[in-house]
Structure 1
Amino acid sequence: MPSPLRAGAGDAGTATANGAAPQTRTVADGLAAPWDIAFLPSGEALVSERDSGRILRLPVGGGTPSTVTTLPGVVHQGESGLLGLAVSPTFARDQLVYAYYTTSSDNRIVRFRLDGNHAEAPTPVLTGLAHGVIHNGGRIRFGPDGLLYAGIGDTGVRANAQILASRNGKILRIRPDGTIPADNPFPGSPVYSLGHRNVQGLAWDSAGRLWASEFGQDRFDEINLIVPGGNYGWPVVEGDGDTDGGRYRRPLATWPVADASPSGIAIRSTTMYVAALRGQRLWELDLAGATVRGTPRAVLNGVDGRLRAAVSAPDGSVWVLTNNTDGRGDPKPGDDRILALR
């Protein structure tokens, strides 16, 4: 496998692939520590607020949000709280919305029925995930196979990433009801891949390949192409290190941690968008099949502060979620915001 592409501060541009500056519009503002966005079939969007446990609904195309529900038992400390959202791919039939959040005893995935403006009480789907002040993961997405994938952080306990019996430091794959698919790579286990530090970005390309973003520690953040049963090396390897004779899979792109801290990712056509927190920019990567081509480009570079999520919207735009009110940013009037990138 070729060495991964690397981007540093000197590679940070401000233009898109065609040389034009990115065009954005504000979809919503005044959000408090927002974390994720998920679209309903109607085109309305749901937004999670980490600290409050609130789930908001935005009108089609954006506007003033309304509160759908406040999930009971959400506990916020450090990086924990209400994190990822996902809408059932069969929402028109089952009206189910999924959420990943922290309680006083665990990280868990729940689901609830959303009937019009009424949200029923949530029911557990997956419970007992170790929780912590840091590295809770939290991104959940339905794949093209109709199954639910979840990025689970190591919560600061590095060794768990290499222990198959632990669900932390992994990407998990489960059925919508929480049971384990028969074709998972490790029989009887929800583990889909292991050796992860803190995955917060999951997205599929047009060929159904799963890509993930991962926070490094001191050296390199990563973009990985995920294969069933793959071991991505943490804590033995960070970035493009020794693969131990091929035991560990190499990343397809890396950044120095100061330039990225990559959270949510979105793929539109053959372009991947990576929301960077510490790096305060949106990275664009050109995908060429199962590889990354050329040099990653930085857009929105330092303009909007910390970026938490990038999500493909029904109208073909990419919605980017700022995260300046999360306790680590420098909020400006109107923060936090959702921006639509054309």
Structure 2
Amino acid sequence: MVPRALTGAGALVVVLVLAGCTGPGDEPAPTVTSARHATAPSSDPTTSAPGPSPTPTPDARPARCTTLPEADEDADVAPGSATVGVEVSTVATDLAVPWGIAPLSDGRVLLTLRDDAGVVLVEPDGTVTPVDGPGADELADVVVHEAESGLLGVTVLAERDDAVDVALYATTADDNRVLRATLSGTTLGDLTPVLTGIPRQWYHSGGGVALGPDGCLWITTGDAGDPDAAQDLDSLGGKILRVTPDGDPAPGNPFAGSPVWSYGHRNVQGIGWSADGRTFAAEFGQDTWDELNVIHPGANYGWPVVEGRGGGGDFVDPVAVWATDDASPSGLAVTDEAVYLAGLRGETLWRVPLRPVGETDADGVGEPQALLTGEHGRLRAVVALGTAGGPGSRSDEDASDDERALLVLTNNRDGRGEPSDGDDRLLRVVVD
């Protein structure tokens, strides 16, 4: 077990000295981008007092949120190859610090811009169109960007012929919160709070949102500079949360009346599911070990007592770890053959081959393989396109590659990278 003494006020001092999510020299001094982002207008509907505040979105038709089944040991999972090759093409360029990706079924891709509190649509031909409307105006007014915080994750809740219901993770002057709205064409409707009161800070904000295979909304949070919060079940910080699309605690959650699914996390951003029902999440370490975890309901993942593997006991060990210089994993995607993690400091797309469910979590994965190392700089997000003809395909001729394709965002303009002409980029990565 690796002892950690970073608790309470002392932890804040140490983190500020380290100035980074994963170690020294990786964090710029906090800055507020503009006066309009200094406070949230009191009249804005997204500025309610912190705390869970489920509110239905008019005319929304989300998937039904049901109990998550256990991982199926008998599922037919073909082991992923030990190594693969990749082919990379550029979909879009000159993106301003993109953070989250949500492919749409019509081939467009929705992206969030962290610092600008903006949302853009990328057409199949690479054209980038800003999203406007009342929801976009509200985001510009309410989102506060400082260092790692701002407009972060995005996911699709439901699609109809004429509209898409989306959820967004945003930092405000008071908290981190999840908002939902309906996108019609390039117009975003009014924002409605789904879950508020997630602890905020300019670092360790978490920020992932994803619609799970159970139809529930999963939210990943950070400890917001308070490591003790990760062990406090009354705090939403340092947790993986599971709620209905309206914000109520989801059925089957391990703690009655609570949105908490798992705890003891330092800073989780990427989450995804394998076909056999396992939940995977990527976690930033402090200055020693980054983690890939298999997530179990009610389980404690150790922070701040343990960073990396602690030898079991009261805490669940990760299935893979990396030195923080080699990874800093943000986004995560799961395909039928592997888990992919987008690495920031490591400038690497890490691939962890899947194995059938075994006696231990670690039995269910192979040795990590490094892809794209140093070729495109910092990598923020990754999503899998899934079946042929699915979302995000760029043209008919390459639609057949979609079942092996990923979308990857670079993050070289986030204040820590070394941007080149054309950064940041949305890349299409086809696995061979």
Q: Say yes or no: does 1:66 pair with 2:133.
A: no
Look up the match of 1:4.
none
User: Which of 86, 94, 97 is the matching residue for 1:30?
Assistant: 94
Normalising by structure 1, we get a TM-score of: 0.91
Paired letter, 1:64: T
What is the distance in 2 between the residues matched to 1:256 and 1:137? Answer: 20
User: Which of 98, 101, 108 is the matching residue for 2:167?
Assistant: 98
Deviation at 1:211, TM superposition (A): 0.2
1:137–1:20 distance in 2 versus 1, CA, 3 Å: closer
Q: Say yes or no: does 1:119 pair with 2:188.
A: yes
Deviation at 1:128, TM superposition (A): 1.4
Query: Identity rate of aligned residues, in percent?
Result: 47
Q: Say yes or no: does 1:326 pair with 2:390.
A: no
1:227–1:105 distance in 2 versus 1, CA, 3 Å: same
Q: Say yes or no: does 1:307 pair with 2:307.
A: no
Paired letter, 2:355: A
What is the distance in 1 between the residues matched to 2:179 and 2:195? Answer: 7
Q: Deviations over 1:280-318 (max 9, x none)?
A: 111111011244443211110101000000101233310
Aligned runs of 1:45-60 on 2, under 5 Å? 45-60=109-124
Deviation at 1:182, TM superposition (A): 3.2
CA contact 1:23–1:341 (8 Å) conserved in 2: yes
Paired letter, 2:130: T
Deviation at 1:116, TM superposition (A): 2.1
Look up the match of 1:297.
369
Deviation at 1:78, TM superposition (A): 1.0
More strand, by proportion: 1
What is the distance in 2 between the residues matched to 1:150 and 1:340? Answer: 25
Normalising by structure 2, we get a TM-score of: 0.73
Paired letter, 1:202: I
User: Which of 295, 300, 325 is the matching residue for 1:226?
Assistant: 295
CA contact 2:130–2:186 (8 Å) conserved in 1: no
What is the distance in 2 between the residues matched to 1:117 and 1:295? Answer: 42
CA contact 1:150–1:171 (8 Å) conserved in 2: yes
Deviation at 1:127, TM superposition (A): 0.8
| Helix, strand or coil at the partner of 1:109 | strand
| Helix, strand or coil at the partner of 1:273 | strand
What is the distance in 2 between the residues matched to 1:341 and 1:165? Answer: 41
CA contact 2:410–2:426 (8 Å) conserved in 1: yes
CA contact 1:285–1:292 (8 Å) conserved in 2: no
CA contact 1:133–1:155 (8 Å) conserved in 2: yes
Aligned runs of 1:242-261 on 2, under 5 Å? 242-243=311-312, 246-261=313-328
Look up the match of 1:262.
329
Paired letter, 1:275: A
What is the distance in 2 between the residues matched to 1:20 and 1:252? Answer: 20
Q: Deviations over 1:227-286 (max 9, x none)?
A: 11111010111101243xx21101000001110000101112121111000001111110
| Helix, strand or coil at the partner of 2:203 | coil
What is the distance in 2 between the residues matched to 1:89 and 1:98? Answer: 10
| Helix, strand or coil at the partner of 1:213 | strand
What is the distance in 1 between the residues matched to 2:238 and 2:330? Answer: 15
What is the distance in 2 between the residues matched to 1:221 and 1:183? Answer: 29
Q: Deviations over 1:61-103 (max 9, x none)?
A: x501101133231110010000000111455587311100101
Look up the match of 2:25.
none
Aligned runs of 1:113-262 on 2, under 5 Å? 113-243=182-312, 246-262=313-329
1:118–1:298 distance in 2 versus 1, CA, 3 Å: same
More helix, by proportion: 2
| Helix, strand or coil at the partner of 1:126 | strand
Look up the match of 1:80.
149
* 5+ residue gaps, structure 2: 1-79, 358-362, 391-401
From the CA coordinates, give the structure whose radius of gyration is larger.
2
Deviation at 1:177, TM superposition (A): 0.4
Paired letter, 1:251: P
CA contact 1:50–1:83 (8 Å) conserved in 2: yes
Look up the match of 2:398.
none
What is the distance in 2 between the residues matched to 1:32 and 1:321? Answer: 11
What is the distance in 2 between the residues matched to 1:237 and 1:20? Answer: 33
Moved over 6 A (4+): none
Q: Say yes or no: does 1:271 pair with 2:338.
A: yes
Paired letter, 1:205: S
**RMSD of aligned alpha carbons:** 1.6
Query: How many residue pairs get matched?
Result: 324
CA contact 1:284–1:297 (8 Å) conserved in 2: yes
After superposing the two structures, state which structure 1 stretch, 288-297 or 184-193, moved more.
288-297
Paired letter, 1:253: A
CA contact 1:182–1:188 (8 Å) conserved in 2: no
CA contact 2:109–2:121 (8 Å) conserved in 1: yes
What is the distance in 1 between the residues matched to 2:89 and 2:285? Answer: 31
CA contact 1:41–1:92 (8 Å) conserved in 2: no
Paired letter, 1:131: R
What is the distance in 2 between the residues matched to 1:65 and 1:114? Answer: 16
What is the distance in 2 between the residues matched to 1:38 and 1:20? Answer: 25
What is the distance in 2 between the residues matched to 1:85 and 1:53? Answer: 12
